[in-house]
């Protein structure tokens, strides 16, 4: 066996480069992070051949002193930490001091810098070159205050590493994505990216909304949910993409911890669970979210590329993220305009601006007695109110004069005025009239119904234009949310059937009913064996009293048989309730009166997550007058 020997610094740096500088994008990341740590406000990036031929970064940061230029290219040399306590509270993007040394060991690197400590800049810049680890003497150079780093021919003398690089277009795509990540985390800085001499990206200074619009698109920002939640030292803020704009891949998911882009299993699982109830099963959410916490609460020294972190209290972080994002997504009631976006022009508002029409559906409006007030289903008062939710109830009072002024008399023959009609059984309401949130003119967010299209869609007119609602999907969400609330409160009222519904069942179904009768009653079912091969449905949940009792019972029994009653009532609870809601929702091709349509619209406006059905599909769309005029080229 050969004798043990100490590796040379050059070989050590080349080994480290295999971990830190996997591809040009990793080298670019190290350079940009150093520029940001130096306080740069403008970062200009030039690439050639996807970064394999040239990576050049010019910044206007504080620069590096002459005597420190050569030291900056030494392994584990840094100005960002001094002792172990600093390592426990890392507040910069870089801290190991191995990035530049690793890059210099596998390329030809030119480092030029002019230092400015705030009291005055150096007379001129200084320049130092390194050729695959061989360092030259510093010499004077011309440069404005800041730093310029050029990385030429990455892995040129290491063909074994170079062969793992992909095509120039692929490597450039990775570099551009790296710029996007850092640009989203630093919206107050300007980024310019050139590739092969051609401008590819120019991101001007602004706020998070404008930076997200530039990177993720206007559609993302215009439909996103703004989040700003705090709990002790924790803060979660940013933009969560609308579930109806889910992506086919995860390439629009950006999460930052103290300004650092990370991919963490705890974080990803929490966000995935928060979206589960509103996102289509084959889609992925889009978001740009920032988690802030005390530096000692997170260990960023876990992975060479610093893309992974470890939380001291991962359970608390998980619960905070899940609760905060779930709360934000639950406020996506149908008709609400996105925060941070002007509903009339669609333009992004200035950071911190409040959209006057993006008030939550719990905002009071109108005269006394005609204002909706928020109810917390967890409070004692809410329990009393909720027990009355399933009675035959009157429809919300609609301003009849306003309705007639908007449409004229569109009620069908035989319909009574909307303000006096009773709420139909298909939509459960509260024990008193349920007023709806409205805009300044008294028009509710989803407007007033004017027609039904092909027995599938409800058409409603608003002050801005036309609303189209998928009535089955919308009612499915309304029923689903009420079932969840009833089960949370352990108040799932039953509707006894005058004549039990008897159906043929195999012995396993009969055994399931006999073994899990308590669990079935907990979700509102009274099933019993009528014979060894027959089951009788004697009661169903009151919310689903118009559903096909036999088909509903069969679906519930199927779920319980497959995964067990305990799992159905815990981990699979929402899936079971979604199945039940689908059976209880109004079906397509059912003709609705104008009053029934309006009742559904009002329910959507006060129901959490009503912008998506139980499967994550959208329940409504808005076409503004501007969009409609464009279709017909009016004014052109």
What tokens were used for 588? Answer: 């397509």
Is 70 exceeded by the pLDDT of residue 17?
Answer: no
**Which region among 216-225, 249-258, 348-357 has the lowest average model confidence (pLDDT)?**
348-357
pLDDT-derived band at 362 (thresholds 50, 70, 90) equals very low
**Which region among 398-407, 583-592, 601-610 has the lowest average model confidence (pLDDT)?**
398-407
What is the per-residue pLDDT for 129?
A: 93
| Alpha carbon distance 488, 270 (integer Å) | 21
pLDDT > 70 fraction of the chain, expressed in percent and rounded: 76
Residue 101 lies in a domain: yes
> 568 and 545 share a domain?
yes
Residue 489 lies in a domain: no
In 293-408, the DSSP E strands lie at 298-299, 310-311
User: pTM for the whole thing?
Assistant: 0.73
Residue 66 lies in a domain: yes
Residue 408 belongs to what domain range? 380-476+589-631
CATH number, domain of 54, equals 3.30.565.10
| Alpha carbon distance 596, 397 (integer Å) | 13
434-451 burial, b at 16+ Cβ within 10 Å, e below that, comes to bbbbbbeeebbbbbbbbe
> 443 and 385 share a domain?
yes
> pLDDT tens, 65-123?
888 888 888 776 666 655 556 556 666 676 656 778 888 888 999 999 999 877 767 78
pLDDT-derived band at 182 (thresholds 50, 70, 90) equals very high
| Alpha carbon distance 136, 155 (integer Å) | 19
Residue 364 lies in a domain: no
Averaged pLDDT for residues 168-186: 95
| Longest CA–CA separation in the chain, Å | 101
> 182 and 318 share a domain?
no
Q: Which of the listed residues 205, 233, 268 is the one where a domain comes to its end?
A: 205
Residue 340 lies in a domain: no
Comparing CA positions, the residue from 52, 64, 171 lying closest to residue 113 is 64
Residue 4 lies in a domain: no
> 177 and 37 share a domain?
yes
| Alpha carbon distance 221, 341 (integer Å) | 8
What is the per-residue pLDDT for 416?
A: 38
**C-alpha to C-alpha distances, 521 to 494, 552, 553, 583, nearest whole angstrom:** 8, 14, 12, 18
> pLDDT tens, 325-347?
999 988 777 766 554 455 555 45
What tokens were used for 39? Answer: 């306080």
> pLDDT tens, 185-238?
999 999 999 999 999 999 999 999 999 999 999 999 988 999 999 999 999 999
Place of tokens 């002459």: 66
Residue 484 lies in a domain: no
| Alpha carbon distance 503, 554 (integer Å) | 9
Residue 9 near residue 132, CB atoms below 8 Å: no
The overall average pLDDT reported for the chain is 79
Q: Give the count of beta carbons closer than 10 Å to the beta carbon of residue 163.
A: 8
- Taking CB atoms within 8 Å and a gap of at least 24, the contacts of 317-320 are 317/234, 317/266, 317/267, 317/270, 317/291, 317/293, 318/266, 318/269, 318/270, 320/229, 320/231, 320/234, 320/236
Place of tokens 């949940």: 541
> 605 and 566 share a domain?
no
| Alpha carbon distance 466, 461 (integer Å) | 5
Q: Which of the listed residues 330, 359, 390 is the one where a domain comes to its end?
A: 330
- Residue 129's contacts (CB-CB under 8 Å, 6 or more residues apart) are 108, 109, 110, 111, 135, 136
> pLDDT tens, 528-579?
999 989 999 999 998 888 888 999 999 889 888 877 777 777 777 888 888 8
Is 70 exceeded by the pLDDT of residue 373?
Answer: no
> 538 and 572 share a domain?
yes
End-to-end CA distance of the chain: 85
376 or 105, higher pLDDT: 105
What tokens were used for 22? Answer: 């996997």
What is the per-residue pLDDT for 173?
A: 95
Length in residues, the chain: 636
**Which region among 232-246, 397-411, 605-619 has the lowest average model confidence (pLDDT)?**
397-411
What is the per-residue pLDDT for 492?
A: 87
> 136 and 17 share a domain?
yes
> What is residue 251's three-state secondary structure?
coil
CATH number, domain of 557, equals 3.30.1370.100
> 313 and 402 share a domain?
no
Residue 251 near residue 215, CB atoms below 8 Å: no
In 401-533, the DSSP E strands lie at 448-453, 457-461, 465-470, 494-504, 526-531
Is 50 exceeded by the pLDDT of residue 387?
Answer: no
**C-alpha to C-alpha distances, 153 to 55, 342, 401, 451, nearest whole angstrom:** 9, 48, 75, 67
- The number of distinct structural domains making up the chain is 4
Q: Which of the listed residues 548, 563, 584 is the one where a domain comes to its end?
A: 584
Q: What is the C-alpha radius of gyration for the chain, rounded to an integer number of angstroms? A: 31
| Alpha carbon distance 82, 78 (integer Å) | 8
> pLDDT tens, 304-329?
667 888 898 999 999 999 999 999 98
Residue 361 lies in a domain: no
CATH number, domain of 441, equals 3.30.1540.20
> 20 and 168 share a domain?
yes
298 or 370, higher pLDDT: 298
What tokens were used for 218? Answer: 């206007």
| Alpha carbon distance 340, 350 (integer Å) | 7
């Amino acid at each position: 066996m050969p004798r043990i020997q100490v590796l040379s610094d050059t070989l050590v740096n080349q080994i480290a480069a295999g971990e830190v500088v996997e591809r040009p994008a990793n080298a670019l990341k190290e350079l940009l992070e150093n520029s940001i740590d130096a306080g740069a406000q403008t970062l200009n990036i030039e690439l050639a051949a996807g970064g394999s031929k040239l990576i050049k970064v010019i910044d206007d940061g504080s620069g590096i002193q002459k005597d420190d230029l050569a030291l900056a290219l030494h392994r584990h040399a840094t100005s960002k930490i001094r002792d172990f306590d600093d390592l426990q509270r890392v507040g910069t993007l870089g801290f190991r001091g191995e990035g530049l040394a690793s890059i210099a060991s596998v390329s030809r690197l030119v480092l030029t810098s002019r230092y400015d400590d705030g009291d005055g800049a150096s007379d001129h810049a200084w320049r130092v070159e390194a050729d695959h680890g061989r360092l030259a003497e510093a010499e004077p150079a011309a440069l404005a205050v800041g730093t310029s780093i050029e990385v030429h021919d990455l892995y040129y003398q290491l063909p074994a590493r170079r062969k793992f690089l992909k095509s120039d277009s692929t490597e450039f795509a990775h570099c551009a994505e790296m710029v996007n990540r850092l640009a989203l985390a630093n919206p107050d800085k300007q980024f310019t990216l050139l590739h092969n001499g051609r401008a590819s990206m120019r991101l001007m200074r602004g706020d998070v909304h404008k930076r997200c619009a530039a990177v993720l698109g206007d559609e993302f920002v215009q439909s996103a949910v703004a989040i700003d939640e705090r709990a002790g030292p924790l803060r979660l803020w940013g933009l969560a993409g609308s579930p109806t704009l889910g992506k086919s891949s995860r390439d629009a998911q950006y999460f930052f911890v103290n300004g650092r882009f990370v991919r963490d299993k705890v974080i990803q699982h929490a966000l995935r669970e928060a979206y589960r109830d509103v996102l289509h099963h084959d889609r992925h959410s889009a978001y740009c979210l920032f988690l802030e916490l005390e530096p000692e609460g997170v260990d960023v020294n876990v992975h060479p590329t610093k893309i992974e972190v470890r939380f001291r209290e991962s359970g608390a972080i998980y619960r905070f993220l899940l609760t905060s994002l779930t709360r934000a997504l639950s406020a996506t009631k149908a008709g609400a305009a996105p925060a941070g976006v002007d509903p009339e022009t669609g333009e992004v508002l200035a950071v911190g601006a409040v959209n006057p029409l993006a008030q939550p559906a719990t905002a009071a409006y109108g005269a006394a007695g005609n204002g909706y007030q928020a109810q917390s289903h967890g409070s004692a008062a809410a329990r009393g109110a909720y027990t009355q939710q399933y009675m035959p109830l009157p429809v919300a009072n609609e301003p009849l004069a306003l309705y007639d002024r908007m449409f004229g008399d569109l009620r069908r023959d035989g319909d009574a005025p909307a303000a006096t009609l009773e709420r139909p059984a298909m939509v459960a309401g509260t024990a008193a009239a349920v007023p709806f949130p409205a805009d300044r003119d008294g028009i509710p967010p989803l407007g007033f119904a004017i027609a039904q299209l092909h027995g599938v869609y409800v058409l409603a007119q608003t002050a801005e234009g036309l609303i189209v609602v998928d009535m089955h999907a919308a009612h499915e969400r309304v029923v689903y949310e009420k079932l969840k609330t009833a089960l949370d409160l352990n108040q799932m009222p039953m509707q006894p059937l005058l004549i039990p519904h008897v159906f043929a069942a195999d012995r396993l179904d009969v055994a399931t009913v006999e073994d899990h009768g308590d669990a079935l009653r907990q979700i509102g079912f009274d099933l019993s064996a009528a014979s060894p091969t027959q089951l009788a449905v004697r009661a169903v949940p009151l919310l689903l009293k118009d559903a096909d009792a036999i088909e509903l019972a069969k679906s519930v029994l199927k779920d319980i048989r497959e995964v067990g009653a305990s799992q159905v009532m815990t981990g699979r609870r929402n899936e079971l309730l979604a199945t039940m809601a689908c059976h209880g929702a109004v079906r397509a091709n059912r003709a609705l009166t104008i009053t029934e349509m309006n009742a559904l619209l009002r329910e959507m406006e006060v129901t959490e997550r009503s912008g998506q059905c139980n499967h994550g599909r959208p329940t409504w769309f808005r076409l503004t007058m501007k969009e409609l005029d464009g279709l017909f080229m009016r004014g052109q």
